[in-house]
Structure 1
Amino acid sequence: MDIRKPWVVDSTLSERFPVYTRGNAGEVAGMVASPLQQTVISGWRSETAWRQALVDFGAFEETEFSPDHLDILGIVHGYIYINLSIQRVFGVRMPGASPELMDRTYLGASAGAPTYTPQPGDNAPQYSARVEESIARVMSTRSRPDLDSDAHAARVLRSERPDYSTLSDLELIEYSNAVHERYAADFLRKHMLMMYESSIVTGFLDQVLASLGDPSLAVSLMGGWGGVASAAPAQELWRLGRLVAGSKSLVKEFENGTADVLDRLRASTGERARTFVKEFDSFLFEYGSRSTQEWDVFPPDWETHPNIVVNLVDQMRKLPEDRAPSVTGAQVREGRESLLRELRSKLGANSEALGQLEAAVAALSVWMPARELSKTNYIRVLHEVRLPLRELGKRYEARGILESFEDLALLRLDEVEQLTTDPRVADVIADRKRWVAELEKLEPPFVVVAGEISSPTTWEQRTGPSAAPIAASGDVLTGIAACPGTATGIARVVLDPNEAEELEPGEILVAPETDPGWTPLFTTCSGVVVNVGSPLSHAAIVSRELGIPAVLAVDQATRRIKTGTLLTVDGTAGTVTIH
């Protein structure tokens, strides 16, 4: 094993589009991409959807991409990177955008990317008419009923899930592939397209408000729209927590320990216990696909790891009533409406600017919820793609072919198919497992350039001393303003949301990244600081819906800030002040 060699699913980086970043990729794929992940979820399946989204938007032609190599999603020594050069070219071709804007979106305040240098073909006027048609379509859209139809289809797929025990090994693989082809491929394409469509709205809003000289105004208008699918689990978890808090018998059961409380409640004949179990199971049916590391092939999702949900409910039951998402969300909506009234008054004499503001607000009300619904729909059907493979892994574990079902992830999909007839295929797993262990000790570079990849033996150790100094009293760390407002409290650095029992109400959550598995913790904390992210990342959208001041893209926040530090999060200015 030589980790200097390419990982089994590493890709050839694009020479035409040579700059890649971990920005946004690290948010959903924090660790090494397994061979099964790369061939079932990432890899060509995601690349194809993303390419089609760019073509559908009108900013690229399929012929601009390599037919043989991944261009948009590169893999470097196991870590997923997003092609920044392609996003920069999109910025060139998109009216009102720029390469610098795309850098802010994907890099945040992080440095290290080479300055954009125009290349032949970047500025392509032939795409202007198509892009302008997309802009007109987005700004005139007042509803997305297709996403509601997709949500219904995802629920039906879940309710009609087959009994896996009746399927052969090969049939499990075939079913997984069929779900991807019928649902997941198109749902992912829509979500990728949604990223660009929603950026039109926020970019237009920035332009409308630019003359007022206050960049925080746009962020303040982007939250509190309601109906955000990724915020719904936190709201439902709150309801479950209140169900427990309102019952002495349920409180007693939780106080006796959460490790087996679900088993005890299922065995109970008490009315409150039966009600809780029924509501809990309904929650898992609706939200069981959510997890941390949602781009992984075997993530700790809530359906297969229900005790994660139990622990979140336990945290919710201890919170005061004024922490209810409905209360904090209402405060965000009231703040947004108050700001709107103020802006309408300021722009009242300028009918054109006022009309633009109203158009931007109308579009925001559609596209902010739509963006998160498209992601939720995709994750729900992706869950049905993954679970048959999990069942297959369990079978091989029971037969002694695998030490653990999770070891199946160390095989490519074609190797998993071979494994159904030849158990010797599993012989490569032990070496690959050691390889992953070595790579995951390392912190991959935030930016890489084709032809200039450093050896992983030179990368910083995750557990070693930080390249940045520990923040001292008086230091002000900068990032991206994600949710307006300020919060002062004690920092709690959390690297795994499944192990966040120590997070106390009112503390400041400091996290490496935040996908949907993290967001129920937002209700517990008073502020959020994240290493990576952008104004339209998942953490930003949900923090705004829940009214939690948040600053994203604070470089190495989890290493520069220590648990127990008193700090102030200013989600309006995008700063974190160390006290």
Structure 2
Amino acid sequence: MISGSSAAVAPGLLGVVAEAIGEPSLPMSLLSSIGDVDSADANYALWHLSRLVHDDPQLTAAFDAGLNDVLSRVTPQFTGEWNEFLVEFGSRGPDEWDLRSPTWETHPQLLLAALDRVRLQSDDESPHARHREKATQRDALIAKARVALSDKPDIAPLLDLGLGAGKMMAHRERTKTSIVRVLHEARVAFRELGRRHGHDELVFQVLDSELDAYIANPSSFTNKLTKRYKEWRELFDLEPPFIIANATVAPLSEWARKNDNLVAVAHTGDALVGVAGSPGTARGIARVVLDPGDPGDLEPGDILVAPCTDPSWTPLFMTSAAVVVNVGGQISHAVIVSRELGVPCVVSITDATKRIADGALIEVNGTTGVVTIL
């Protein structure tokens, strides 16, 4: 809570500084490449794995042949480093707060799909090099801001306060990583319990109060768990209320169905305004990806358009020229990792995955928060 709250004030403090010196785009640049961000570390490690594949004809051929059983065709060195990666980062995955959600360890295909895209990137696009470049730019901007604040004694202290608060973003990410690792230990145990009793996914429908009875007689729960699972899956077709007031939630029968939400596709010349996340500008082909385990045609230089992101999505950032996300704020995971990797990012463009056509040529301005259809 402390790290999250402290990190949240950084954009505001630096925003006051930026306004005082006439540099409105300054905050996101000053919060770039702060270093020691756990959610970015997995990307650096995956980049190393991608270079092993990129530089080895045998590994390249193994991946070119398809991802099915690819791990049976790789070199012993790759196998060793792959296993080390899973020990360190295997707890990460989409919706990783949820025990039921797959992770890189429980479902390695998720990670292989990302690696298969990153291996196509050239060495020139190393995230390490991008990080160093952005860090150098940030240091220069800090020095410039200090000069501009020399005659503003009331505002000048806010610069260091904002920079200090910005460093708390790394602590915020560390907090989440620590919690996720503990949750993953429980996840693995539940998955094994479900596997033993033929309830691979159903086991996550067991209530805490039912655990002892379930372990004593798993088969007696099959019908009950199947019914719960069906009802739970039906929720995925509904659009939850955007705001809940006074702890009052409308009955499910009144929730809109996601397929009923028709959104017009943006056309050439349209400018979609979101929240500036990571500075920089990029042009490229938009690739709408709804599942990090299925990146489709995403190629180096394309622009990733995603519904939301967590650390399991971020390896795809290393293939992308820029990132656009339906939701998020200035300290969301997409933004923090984008700034660490030096990738322009715009978040909070409502329905971006529906408004931006897959294959469209777009320009992303992560400094102003504007995405233009070209």
TM-score under structure 2 length normalisation? 0.94
Paired AA for residue 96 in structure 2: E
Q: Does 1:320 align with 2:122?
A: yes
The residue aligned with 1:389 is 190
Cα distance in 2, alignment partners of residues 565 and 475 from structure 1: 12
**Structure 1 residues 358 and 317, CA gap change in structure 2 (3 angstroms):** same
The residue aligned with 1:461 is 257
1:298 to partner: Cα distance = 2.1
Deviations 1:125-181 (A, max 9, x none): xxxxxxxxxxxxxxxxxxxxxxxxxxxxxxxxxxxxxxxxxxxxxxxxxxxxxxxxx
Q: Which moved more, 1:242-251 or 1:429-438?
A: 429-438
The residue aligned with 2:21 is 212
Cα distance in 2, alignment partners of residues 501 and 341 from structure 1: 43
Preserved contact between residue 91 and residue 181 of structure 2 (Cα < 8 Å): yes
**Structure 1 residues 387 and 452, CA gap change in structure 2 (3 angstroms):** closer
Cα distance in 2, alignment partners of residues 216 and 564 from structure 1: 29
Preserved contact between residue 100 and residue 187 of structure 2 (Cα < 8 Å): yes
1:465 to partner: Cα distance = 4.6
The residue aligned with 2:144 is 342
Preserved contact between residue 270 and residue 372 of structure 2 (Cα < 8 Å): yes
Deviations 1:369-414 (A, max 9, x none): 21111111111111112211111111111xxxx3xx1111122122
Cα distance in 2, alignment partners of residues 557 and 394 from structure 1: 38
**Structure 1 residues 451 and 465, CA gap change in structure 2 (3 angstroms):** closer
Cα distance in 1, alignment partners of residues 176 and 230 from structure 2: 33
Q: Does 1:221 align with 2:23?
A: no
1:356 to partner: Cα distance = 3.2
**Structure 1 residues 360 and 258, CA gap change in structure 2 (3 angstroms):** same
* SS of the residue 1:329 aligns to: helix
Cα distance in 1, alignment partners of residues 233 and 95 from structure 2: 17
Cα distance in 2, alignment partners of residues 451 and 288 from structure 1: 36
The residue aligned with 1:144 is none
Cα distance in 2, alignment partners of residues 455 and 212 from structure 1: 51
Q: Does 1:332 align with 2:134?
A: yes
**Structure 1 residues 414 and 426, CA gap change in structure 2 (3 angstroms):** farther
Q: Does 1:380 align with 2:189?
A: no
The residue aligned with 2:76 is 274
The residue aligned with 1:242 is 51
Paired AA for residue 227 in structure 2: D
Preserved contact between residue 99 and residue 186 of structure 2 (Cα < 8 Å): no
1:241 to partner: Cα distance = 0.8
The residue aligned with 1:525 is 320
Return 5+ residue gaps in structure 2 as ranges: none
1:427 to partner: Cα distance = 2.7
* SS of the residue 2:293 aligns to: helix
Cα distance in 1, alignment partners of residues 8 and 310 from structure 2: 19
Q: Does 1:429 align with 2:225?
A: yes
Cα distance in 2, alignment partners of residues 196 and 406 from structure 1: 36
Q: Does 1:370 align with 2:171?
A: yes
Preserved contact between residue 489 and residue 508 of structure 1 (Cα < 8 Å): yes
Q: Which moved more, 1:284-293 or 1:345-354?
A: 345-354
The residue aligned with 2:243 is 447
Q: Does 1:557 align with 2:352?
A: yes
Paired AA for residue 532 in structure 1: V
1:314 to partner: Cα distance = 2.3
Paired AA for residue 278 in structure 1: G
The residue aligned with 1:299 is 101
% same residue? 40
Cα distance in 1, alignment partners of residues 267 and 351 from structure 2: 14
Cα distance in 2, alignment partners of residues 248 and 422 from structure 1: 52
Equivalent residues in 2 for 1:136-285, closer than 5 Å? 192-265=1-74, 273-285=75-87
Preserved contact between residue 481 and residue 573 of structure 1 (Cα < 8 Å): yes
Cα distance in 2, alignment partners of residues 308 and 249 from structure 1: 22
Preserved contact between residue 311 and residue 501 of structure 1 (Cα < 8 Å): no
1:418 to partner: Cα distance = 1.9
Deviations 1:262-285 (A, max 9, x none): 0223xxxxxxx1111111110000
Preserved contact between residue 510 and residue 558 of structure 1 (Cα < 8 Å): yes
Cα distance in 2, alignment partners of residues 457 and 475 from structure 1: 36
Q: Which moved more, 1:208-217 or 1:564-573?
A: 208-217
Q: Over alpha carbons, which structure has the higher Rg?
A: 1
Paired AA for residue 200 in structure 1: V
The residue aligned with 1:354 is 156
* SS of the residue 2:372 aligns to: strand
Deviations 1:70-126 (A, max 9, x none): xxxxxxxxxxxxxxxxxxxxxxxxxxxxxxxxxxxxxxxxxxxxxxxxxxxxxxxxx
The residue aligned with 1:139 is none
1:251 to partner: Cα distance = 1.6
1:363 to partner: Cα distance = 4.1
Cα distance in 2, alignment partners of residues 505 and 282 from structure 1: 26
The residue aligned with 1:83 is none
Q: Does 1:505 align with 2:269?
A: no
Alpha carbon RMSD of aligned pairs, Å?
A: 1.8
Cα distance in 1, alignment partners of residues 369 and 2 from structure 2: 28
The residue aligned with 1:32 is none
Paired AA for residue 31 in structure 2: M
Return 5+ residue gaps in structure 1 as ranges: 1-191, 266-272
